[in-house]
Amino acid sequence: MSDARAGQDRVASFLNSAAVKLMYEPVALVASVIGGMLASALFGRIWRALAGKRNVPQAMDQATTWAAILPAAALHGVIFGVVKALVDRASAKEFQRLTGLWPGKEMPAEAATH
């Protein structure tokens, strides 16, 4: 009887997790779009301040050198990565605050008590 109950608990846990992830999808989509717009604006401002140039070097511009493209690409990646992490974490925390459910991977119960 214990094995049947454990199996039911696993199925219920899986369905609950799937439902939470499905509920979170629209939140994640909106947060992603807003984060992308924020990161683009931030990158543009930082690039103009650091390089003193209005236009960002484009990889597909034949006249642009590797020396110009790579620093811009690296800065772009760092800014987008940091903004994405901030937006993902903030939207997950807000979702949890509103629903009481964490939309991502939960910490194991034994880790929560320490």
* C-alpha pair distances (Å), 46 with each of 8, 33, 42, 49, 77: 53, 20, 6, 5, 13
**How confident is the model at residue 114, as a pLDDT?**
55
pTM, to two decimals: 0.74
Per-residue pLDDT at 78: 97
Q: Is the pLDDT of residue 2 over 70?
A: no
pLDDT digits (tens, 9 = 90+) for 51-93: 998 889 999 999 999 999 999 999 999 999 999 999 999 999 9
pLDDT at 4 over 70: no
Dihedral of CA 66/68/71/74: which sign? negative
**Mean per-residue pLDDT over the chain, rounded:** 86
First to last CA, the chain: 32
Q: For residue 41, what pLDDT is reported?
A: 94
* Res. 106 pLDDT band, cuts 50 70 90: confident
CA distance 30 to 83: 14
